[in-house]
Structure formats: structure tokens, C-alpha cells
Amino acid sequence: MKFGVILSCTVMCSSAEESHARFTKLFSLIRLDSLQCEKDCRQSASSEAEDWHETSAERSCVTDSHGSVMFGEGEYNKASQSQAESLKLVLNGLLEDMKTWKGKVSEVARLRVADYGCSQGKSSLPIVSAVIAAGESTPIDFFFTDLPQNDWDSARLLLQSLGHVEPADKASFHSPALLQPFVDDAKAGNHSVRMLMCGRSFYEQVIPSNSIDLGFSGTAMHWVSHAPKGSGFFFGGDLYFRKLERSNPMRLEWENLAAKDWESNLRSRSEELVSGGSLHFVVPVFDPESRPSYTYQKLADVIMETLQTLLRRGEISQKEADAFVTPVFLRSREEFEAPFQAGAFEGLVLESFSTHLLPSPYWQTSQHDPARFADSYVRSVRAWSYNSWTSKLAAVSHQADTIVEKLYRAINEGIMKNPQDFRRDYVQAYMTLRKL
């Protein structure tokens, strides 16, 4: 399904005011089509489910999808340079494990690689291209996973130049059962490289058991399955609830949810991996020793300050402020390592863990111009936040677009005022895991 409006506005407008005006009109028009697209996607998925031969629990993932999707029509591809740059952290480890795999298997063996949280594909493109090049004549299946309502059209358009894309008759596969025939078909016809679109939450099993040799993920697993019931903004808190007291019940709910989700994620990945298979994850992390302590720390401050100001002025209600709660949680190293304290967890071992403070690529691409930097930075924030915020706001407010635009404008102004606070704000963990 296509949105009715194609993004053609470039971020390098002649002024911040012109850029804001164009984006305001453009995104409000697209939002109408995107909401209809998500409705159509749910209806289509529901009708497809009638032809499936799976359990009701498996079918439920289509309509009860976890998390939020990125902005469609390929916009996330155009505005996710930070995510793409940080994902390159996995490349050396991934290629080293691929080399080891090639030394152990026959020449006709088919390598299977999974990308967990692919969105529209561009961030993964350098990794996929490098794996294909390193494989030389090795036949490869890539499994690209994201939510059912992901912009699969943009992913398909981008990836089809590198291999044969499946499914051919719908947006994505919604269950491991539908992928099983492709796993069983080792020869894969005449296609040496296949791209399989998998629309299912990574908090469930996405791919058939014992099928994946290598897996990777970039800036995706900080998204939790849902926001705890009753979540709302509090004075003294922050976007990720990290500033709340440790004993605060709401913080405890988020921590407990994040811990359960992480274990669910690991359990599902272990089921999918073959023995000896490895995972390479880049994930936003909370690191109290780093400055800043977590990705988008200053951005979170600006968002909270703006919402608090709007609340005090009576320009928004508490319900409208609460709609900005985003289902993400930045785990600490200790929280990532917790399942492995007694050794292996569900057959997985955590082999390595490192933290990296990365610069914003938008400062370089904007040629150190504060106005252009602010435009690029805000565009990237829009790409991951717009769908989540506007869909929740629309349920409680008649001024959703107005409120969202006030927030984006405040972010732009905050960057213009102190661009140095936003130039180095990507705190990422890189970890490798292996199945025994």
C-alpha cells in the first residue's frame, strides 16, 4: 500500500522558517494517508490470516503489533544517518564470523542472515552489501524483520537490486510457518541471494527454529513491546524515566517491562539460531560514566522542558502530554547482562560488550552550519517519533498536529541556541552473543 503523498521536500531549505512551513504542511497531509495505510494494513493482515494454518497466538501478532513503526514513504531511509553510522560497529565481527562459517561448511551450503528491526532498509545496506561481497559465490538468504505495518514497499524497492525479494504477492511474511518452505528449499531455484521480508515483532519468534547463522540489529532493541499502563510525564522525570527515584513505582514498572522484553527477545533469538550462530547488536544504552549518559539526553531535556512549559501555561492537558510517552527504554550494561549472571541464558552466551559515544553525522553533512544542522537533526527525530506521537495524540486531542509542531519547533530552537550540546549525543552499546 502506498501513501498518497510522496516526500520531495529537501531538508536544506533556504531558512529554518521555510523548512518548518514545508514540513508542517507535508507531514500533516501524509499523516492522513499513513493512518489510513495502517488501517488498510491491519484489514489486509486480518484477511490473510484466514488462509494461515497457525495458532491464534501466532495470528494475533498482526493486529496486536508491538512498538511503533518509523515514518513511511522512505522518509526514514532519508533521515536515519545516525542509525546507519552506528550500525557499522557490527561489520568487522559479522564478517569474521562469516569467515569462520565458510571454513566449516560445504561449498553448496546456504548462509542465512537476519536483520532484526530493519525499518526501510537503508541503514542495513552497507552491511548487506559487505556480506554479499565477502561471500563471493556463497548463496545467502537475508531475513529482514520489522513490524507488519512497516514501510515494506520502501524496503523492497531498495533491496531488490541486491537479490530476489519475497513475498511476491503481499507486503511481508507474518509467521515462521510461512517462512519454513524457504528455509527447507536450500537450492532456492535460480536465486543465489534472496531477501525475505518478515513482518512480526522481534519480541516473538519471527523465523523458523534452528535456521539463522548470523544475526544483527541496529538501534532497534531499545523499543519495548508497549508502554506500561498509566505511564505519564512527571515533573523531575525525563523522556526515559531514568530521573525518577529508584523506588518510584512507574520507574520500577518500566524496568521490569524492559527486563522481561529483553529475556523474551533472547529466548526467541536462541530458538532461531543454529548451534554456533552469533548475534551482533548495536543498541542505545544508559551509561552513567559517559557524558552524555545516554542517546538523545539533551533532546530528552528539551522535550520535557517544552511539555512542562505547555502544561503550566494551560496550552496542553495532562492527557495530551502523556501521549508523548514513547515505548523505549535505555537499559544499562548491568540490565543487558542480568540474564547471563548464572552463565548461559536459553543456550546463549554474551561474548562481548562495549560502549561507544558517537558524533552526530548531521553536523558534518550540514558543514557545521547551525541552522542546517538543526533542520537535519529535527528531520531525523521526526522520522522515528512522528507516527508514535501523532497517533496517540489524535486519540485524546483535536490539536495533535499543532502540539507536535510546537515541540519540533522547540527542538529546532534548542539546537540553534546550543548546537554543541547535540553534536555528540549517540551512546551505543555493541554486543555479541553466541548460541552454544
Q: pLDDT band at residue 51, thresholds of 50, 70 and 90? A: very low
Q: What residues have CB less than 8 Å from 161, skipping those under 6 apart?
A: none
pLDDT at 119: 92
Measured over the CA atoms of residue 221, residue 225, residue 226 and residue 228, the dihedral's sign is negative
The winner for highest mean pLDDT among 63-67, 112-116, 291-295, 386-390 is: 112-116
Q: Which run of H or E residues covers position 141? A: strand 140-146
Q: Which run of H or E residues covers position 433? A: strand 426-435
pLDDT at 206: 98
Instruction: Tell me the CA distances in angstroms from 255 to 248, 252, 331, one per residue in order.
Output: 11, 5, 8
Q: Which residue has the higher pLDDT, 74 or 388?
A: 388
- DSSP symbol at 286: B
pLDDT at 230: 82
pLDDT at 235: 59
Q: pLDDT band at residue 349, thresholds of 50, 70 and 90? A: very high
47 has a pLDDT exceeding 80: no
pLDDT at 85: 95
114 has a pLDDT exceeding 90: yes
pLDDT at 73: 62
Instruction: Provide the b/e sequence for 171-208 (b: ≥16 CB within 10 Å).
Output: bbbbbbebbeebbeeeebeebebbbbbbbbbbbbbbbb
Among 30-44, 189-203, 215-229, 288-302, which is the least confidently predicted range?
A: 30-44
Q: pLDDT band at residue 19, thresholds of 50, 70 and 90? A: very low
At 154-167, the pLDDT tens digits run 999 999 999 999 99
At 131-162, the pLDDT tens digits run 999 999 899 999 999 999 999 999 999 999 99
At 230-264, the pLDDT tens digits run 888 765 566 677 778 888 888 999 999 999 999 99
16 has a pLDDT exceeding 50: no
**pTM score:** 0.84
| Structural domains of the chain, ranges and CATH numbers in brackets | 75-165+172-435 (3.40.50.150)
pLDDT at 69: 59
Residue 274 CA to residue 48 CA, distance in Å, equals 30
Here the contacts of 331-338 (C-beta below 8 Å, separation 24 or greater) are 331/222, 331/258, 331/262, 331/283, 331/285, 331/286, 332/285, 332/286, 332/287, 332/288, 333/285, 333/287, 333/429, 335/255, 335/258, 335/259, 335/262, 336/262, 336/283, 336/285, 336/429, 336/431, 338/259, 338/262
pLDDT at 187: 67
Q: pLDDT band at residue 387, thresholds of 50, 70 and 90? A: confident
Q: Classify strands 212-218 and 111-116 as parallel, antiparallel or unpaired.
A: parallel
Q: What residues have CB less than 8 Å from 324, skipping those under 6 apart?
A: 233, 303, 307, 389, 392, 393, 407
Is the backbone of residue 327 left (phi > 0), alpha (psi -120 to 50) or beta? beta
